[in-house]
Amino acid sequence: MKSIFQIVLWIICIVLGYMIYKSVTGPIEFDKIKKERFAEVIDRMKDIRNAQDAFKTVNGRYANNFESLVAFVDTGKYTITQQRDSSYMEFDKVYQIDMLQEVKIIDTLGFVSVKDSLFKDSDRYKNMMNVPYASNNEKFTMKADIVEKSGYRAPVYEVKVPKSVVLHDQPKDLLSRENAQVSVEEVNGPEIKVGSLTEVSTSGNWPPIYDKKGDQ
C-alpha cells in the first residue's frame, strides 16, 4: 500500500514539475514561433504592398482582388519618362512683339516590366494571396475603395489576416494574450494588416523589428 502511495506521489510530482516547466518555457517558445511566422506573413504583405503601389502608379487606383493584381504583375509595365525644359518664341498680340515662352516637355524613354522590377526572377507573387502557416489554405482578405479626404478622392486598400489563422496550433491562452497586445514593440490587436480603408495610408501595423534595412 505504501509503495502504491509513493508511486502516485511520484506521478503527481512529475506532472506538477512538467506543468511548472511548461508555464516557464511555453511563453518563450510561443514568442519564438510567433516572431518566425509573423516575419514570413509580413514579408508577403510587403510583396502585396509593392504590387499595389505599382498597380496604382499605372492605373490610378488599387486592385480590389488578387486575380487582377497577379495578372497586372504578369503583364504590367512602367512608363519611363524624362522631363526637360524648353522654350520658343511666340507673337504676343497685346504687346505686338515676339516673346519667349517657357514650357516643360515630358519624353517617353521606354517601358519596364513590373514583374522584373519588383520580383526579378522569382514567381512568388503568384502565391502572395496565400497566408503562410495557415492550416486550411486561408487567403489574405484584401479590399480597395475610394475615400473622401479634405475634398480629395483618394484610393485606399487594406490587406489583413487574423493572428489566429497564423497561430492556429498554439495554446489558446497565449493566443488570447497575443490578440490583446498593445505595445510599440508588438503587432497590436487580433490581426496583422497593411493599409487602411478609412485613412490614406499604406503602413503596416507591425513594429520596426519586422522591417529589414531598406524596407519601407
Of 66, 91, 111, which residue sits at a domain end? 111
User: What span, in angstroms and rounded, lies between the C-alpha atoms of 13 and 178?
Assistant: 31
pTM over 0.85: no
Same domain, 62 and 106: no
Cell 487582377, located at residue:
68
| Identity of residue 134 | A
Same domain, 169 and 206: yes
Q: Is 168 part of a structural domain of the chain?
A: yes
140 touches 129 (CB < 8 A):
yes
Name the 3-class secondary structure at 53.
helix
Same domain, 150 and 201: yes
Helices (H) and strands (E) in the chain, counts: 5, 5
Same domain, 125 and 197: yes
Q: Is 161 part of a structural domain of the chain?
A: yes
Query: Residue 212 CB: number of other CB atoms within 10 A?
Result: 8
Same domain, 204 and 143: yes
DSSP state, 212?
Answer: -
What is the number of structural domains in the chain?
2
70-79, 148-157, 179-188: least confidently modelled range: 70-79
Structural domain containing residue 195: 39-77+120-210
Q: Is 24 part of a structural domain of the chain?
A: no
Q: Is 52 part of a structural domain of the chain?
A: yes
Q: How do residues 65-75 score in pLDDT, each as one tens digit?
A: 999 999 999 99
Q: Is 215 part of a structural domain of the chain?
A: no
Report residue 65 as a C-alpha cell: 482582388
Q: Is 13 part of a structural domain of the chain?
A: no
C-alpha of 102 from chain center: 43
Same domain, 59 and 144: yes
Q: Is 17 part of a structural domain of the chain?
A: no
Spatial CA neighbour of 135 closest among 160, 170, 107, 103: 170
Q: How do residues 37-90 score in pLDDT, each as one tens digit?
A: 999 999 999 999 999 999 999 999 999 999 999 999 999 886 654 566 666 677
Cell 506543468, located at residue:
19
Same domain, 171 and 97: no
Which pLDDT band, with edges at 50, 70 and 90, does 18 fall under? very low
DSSP state, 204?
Answer: B
Query: Residue 215 CB: number of other CB atoms within 10 A?
Result: 11
